[in-house]
Amino acid sequence: EGVNYDYVVNLAANVSFTLPLSKAYDANVRTSINVAELARGLGARLVHFSTAYVGRTNEQADLDWRAVRDSVEGDQSHANAEMRRLRYPNTYSFTKAVAELAVLHTCPDATIVRPSIVGPSASYPFPGWANAPSTVTAGAAWWLKSLGASVWHLPPGPSGGVVPVDYVVSYALEKMAQPGGGTHTAAFPAGVFDWGKFLDVTAEVGAVTGRGRGLVGLSRYWLSERVTAEGAFESWQAGYAERALRLVGAPEKFRSLPAVFKPFTEREYKFETDFRVPGFDAHRYLTLCSLSGAGFLGPVDLTKHNLVDDHYSDLLWCLTQPKGNLWIRVVGWVVIKVLRLVFASVTVDLSSFAALAHARGEGGRTVLCPTHRSLLDFVLLSFLAFAVPEADIEPPWIVADEQFKKMPVIGRFCTGSGAVYIKRKEGLAGCERAAKEVAGGDRPVEVFLEGTRSRDRRWVKPKVGFLRSLLEKTGGVLDLVPVCISYERVPEQRTLAGERYKSGLEVKGLFGWAMDVARGRVKLGRVHIAASEPVGLQKGSNLRFVARSVQQGQMAGAVVSSYHIREASKVLGVGADVISRSLMDEGCRFFDGDVEVNPVEDEEEGWSLALGLAWVHAKYIEGEWAEWMCHSRPSPTKKPSEDTRKVVEAWTAAFRSAEEGAAEAIKKLDGVLGSKGKLKEEHVLGYCSAGLPRVLLVEAVRQALAARRQAEPEPEPESSLMTPPEGVEIVSKGEEAFAAWGYKDSRFVLNGRTVKFESPHYELGGRELTRLIPFLEKEMATKIDLSVKPYPVPRRLSVLPSRLPTAVLAKLVSALSEAAVSVDDQERARHGTGHCLSDILELRTSSLRRSPDAVAYPACQDDVVAIVKLAEAEDLCLIPFGGGTNVSSALTCPDLKAEPRCIVSVDMKAMSKLLWCSPEDGLCCFEAGVTGLKLKEELAKQGLTCGMEPDSYEFSTLGGWVATKASGMLKNRYGNIEDIVREVRVVSGGGEVLWQHHQGSKGSYGRGSFGVAEVKDLMIGSEGNFGIVTEVVVKIHKLPAVTEFGSAVFPELSSGLAFARQVWQSGLRPSSIRLVDNGQFRLGQVFKGHDSSSAAAKAAQYAALWWKGIDPKRMVACTLRYEGSPEEVRAQKSVVKKSLAEWGGLAGGSASGKAGYQLTFAIAYLRDFALTYNMLAESFETFVNYSVLLHTIESVKTAVKEAHRERGVCGEALVSARVTQLYDDGACVYFYYIMDASGLADGKKVYNEIEAVARETILECGGSISHHHGVGKHRAKYV
């Protein structure tokens, strides 16, 4: 009383389709009349909810509701006849039609709302809300629970009139506000609810929620879509459905649902209505209806769907997945096995990916932007699309750097999944090419904004080149979907912690990891994948801002675990409870509970885990460190809590310690180097305290050097490092290169970061060495600046002028010929240098202290006699010159104080004839100027060989071999030069010709007793001091009938040395046995170029190594060359096979042996290529007894590394060794040392000092001054 009522709303009805007519009339008509009379009595406007299935208004016009009322109260015959006449399918829709007429009779101004089938809400109060199972949700629920007994027939095609309940309410409120009442249909004009698609989605929801996976779900789906449509089944469907639903415990009111609902699923309804919902996402709503139904069966948590749940059969599961080609299915089977072994769970928040469907509905191109912490990132999203087709994520194009194409397993997966590769060296052009390739179609694109993996788990600055290119190519809108892949522990965590100079994943590392997985040693905890709302990108957008927004979206999906917190607590020195509360204060999400995770192996790993949380606190840090911690950090919105403040203080203290460590290292280097030179980050890092976290030091050093460069002007380049413009232009002469080793048409060239060996002379020619630069950078812990060439091959040359008097020059020309004498600056410079590092540096820097005053080219022995006699008469100094290949500074001209006379170089190469050959005696005689290559070719024409083949044989001469006491690679069979030479002819200092044998005879004494040393014994190793050798008689042999190669690897150097010694001492030895340590072995692998072997083949190789207990990081390799008759070669191989078994070796095949043997010739060119880019390198050798051989090798390596560090050299010393010649009592050992000369004022001086330390260590250990290089002036001080 006293209350005014505006509206009376009648929502009451019984929606059962199977009620008897009288009960349906009471529930739907009589109650409606009562409510209408109430509204009229209250003076209120009636709002009556009916159903859209009452039929058209003109169909109701013939219906007399009073007659129906009277019939219902009587025998009901008239009412039933009317229901059949008007073709109402059930008592529900018939009585709702009658109710409308009765209501309008009582309240003519009533507003009637006719909803179609009411489903769960689309938005309010939350998507999928339903307070009780409605028709649609109940159908989904019992379909999901009915196991294999599918009870609905849901064919594709017809659309149902399902409408969200919150849309119906909004529509009704809108019509209530309109005057005059009327009838309004709350339904879509043409049904957007496809029953077939509803079946698809419900089946997908069943798979996601575990209520119908694999064959169970497929069989149920097949029954619903196909079998229930058949007539034989239709005849007894109602009874079958009722029994099936009774079996699974469905309430009685739902048991008849499949039968009575069939007309609505097989017939398409179109409604006359003004009901409109712009942008309605039908597919999303289908999913909501299914999820709502599933929710009534139990909790549905789509935020933690586990991708690695157990299946009845993983293989069968993969083969029955609806998406993916055969390759993806097979890989999927492997992936799920591996993921299940290493991770406790791999969960995905499927609800977060619902935005993808909305993005597609808006017409934008979907771009998935996941975080990048592991190589597994390339697999996980594609696997998600494959494993959970219900998520409606199409397998994406994977945009990756080209290097991933070559990675084992990962690269094959990416390629098989349709990856698109960007060549980083192409820059923007590479991005444009990749964007063009994926621009067509609507397949999602997966791109990592961070580019490469974040080595320390930070959010690093995004790279936007590809996005810019893709936007231009598509010309539309890009929907960038942030995706966060949260790992408790990434598979490569140990590697990434110190990967600044790593060259990437290798098969040997992958194989070792796989073995640990198989043994159950790998426990990586959990992974969680979550997406955030898409960020739109269109023309005119601020790309940097958009990328920043995407990264912030990634952060919103990040999940933290107690494992992260514990490890961060250890390195930061803050309690785990403090960090945990701080993260909670900042709104972080957490993994539930604890699972087993492999502990960190060192502090660097702990810092990487701590940095994975740094984005939370970066907004409270000031200065450059904040940018480093998290480029896309959000701005603070509140004051930090007390716990957060403590964490921030810990970070600040860590940064301060790193800054102090960087400053101390820079100060130390300035003191050692004696100047404030230009330092590289790697240089400083190598001298920072070992107790400080490297990941922080890297940034601290970068900041310190940047501030240093800003404060101080760039120093002027030192003139000693540059070729001065004055002087003569260098002219290409002959086949030999100038200021570099070897042929002028053979060299290493650089293309980007790929090194190519160009040469027509070697099998290695044309090979691209993509791994060479990364290998050197990794081993030397430096970064090679390929944009600068401190020591290029010079174009001009400046030398001191010739001091040879004109008159003397005229006499020299008269004695020979004008063509046989030269005072050309370039020729003089070349004849004053050999091929040791100091010589090449002097040529490249135009810093020659002195060169010969003239070069003489004798053509015969008489010419040599004439030169020597003229020298004696004119007081000239003569320096014999063979091939100029020495590495002992033997050709260096002494300064004027030490040698005031004019110097003439006597070049013997014009004297290269074969004088005679006697196969019967096994002897031949050559002039001394013949090169090893020509000698070999001349004898080969007659089926002969002398067997002398030093590494330099293409350019070195027979006379030079005698002078230096040379040794060759085949000495095991043919001996050294002292074993090969039978006789020499020499022009002495007085011009006399010395010859052991009687004049004119084509022979030599095999042995004789002369009372004094033989001439040849005096000359071998004399280095030109006793005269000039003009002719040499050497032993010759028939070419071997068989030449084969072999190779082997050993667990370590000691076992390899024992094998080599045992094979040598057997007597049945191969002609060449060369053993390289691990460093040289790995360099040899780099020289193979691009390895086309499959990942499976590589894995098989490493499996064999693992089986033999051979660690790739310690293994050594041996190359073998077999020569002789077939019987001899078989015997040699038999000895090798037996020794391999005894010393734990593994045969490597003939191809590797041949490649290793031939690599010797090509690798000689590498030193001069490295020199161009400021890498100083040289080799030095010695003879050492077996008893101290291993000790000497280890001692020299240690001494070089210590000397390297004491002198402040950048990076780490790369020093390696190989054993090249074997004897009864010892072996020849070669050492190779390379250093980065960056920041050194005089790199040559420092290098020579370190080499001197190595030589002194060799002598202390009992090694010789030299085995075959000779003494020269470089090692004269040790004589």
User: DSSP class of residue 29?
Assistant: I
1230, 1232, 1233, 1247: the catalytic one is 1230
- The interaxial angle of helices 1078-1086 and 1150-1163, nearest 10 deg, is 90
Find residue 981's DSSP bridge partners. 1034
DSSP characters for 876-941? Answer: -EEEEESSS--SS-TTPPPPTTT--S-EEEEE-TT---EEEEETTTTEEEEETT-BHHHHHHHHHT
Given a contact cutoff of 8 angstroms between Cβ atoms, the answer to whether 170 and 184 are in contact is no
3-state secondary structure of 535: strand
Given a contact cutoff of 8 angstroms between Cβ atoms, the answer to whether 237 and 245 are in contact is no
Structure tokens at 822: 């030269």
Find residue 797's DSSP bridge partners. 728
CB count in 10 Å sphere of residue 334:
14
Given a contact cutoff of 8 angstroms between Cβ atoms, the answer to whether 816 and 863 are in contact is yes
Given a contact cutoff of 8 angstroms between Cβ atoms, the answer to whether 407 and 375 are in contact is yes
For residue 568, the number of C-alpha atoms closer than 13 Å in the C-beta half-sphere is 28
3-state secondary structure of 312: coil
d(CA 821, CA 815): 10
d(CA 760, CA 1145): 35
DSSP characters for 755-795? Answer: EEEE-SSSTTTT-EETTHHHHHHHHHTS---TT--SSPPPS
Residue 1230 annotated in active site? yes
d(CA 41, CA 32): 14
Given a contact cutoff of 8 angstroms between Cβ atoms, the answer to whether 1156 and 1081 are in contact is no
Which candidate, 1168, 1051, 1054, 1166, places its Cα nearest to that of 1113? 1051
Q: Phi first, then psi: what are they for 444, rounded to 5°?
A: -60, 155
DSSP characters for 454-519? Answer: -TTS-BPPP--HHHHHHHHHH-S-EEEEEEEEEESS-TTHHHHTT-TT-----HHHHHHHHHHHHT
Instruction: Give per-residue burial for 1211-1245: e unless 16+ CB within 10 Å, then b.
Output: bbbbbbbbbbbbbeebbbbbbbbbbbbbbbeebbe
Question: How far apart, in Å, do the first and last CA atoms of the chain sit?
Answer: 128
The amino acid occupying position 708 is: R
d(CA 423, CA 1242): 38
Which candidate, 586, 605, 415, 601, places its Cα nearest to that of 499? 605
d(CA 1021, CA 1265): 13
Whether residue 125 has a cis bond before it, omega within 30° of 0:
yes
d(CA 1143, CA 621): 59
For residue 879, the number of C-alpha atoms closer than 13 Å in the C-beta half-sphere is 28
Given a contact cutoff of 8 angstroms between Cβ atoms, the answer to whether 661 and 689 are in contact is yes
CB count in 10 Å sphere of residue 1087:
21
List active site positions. 1230
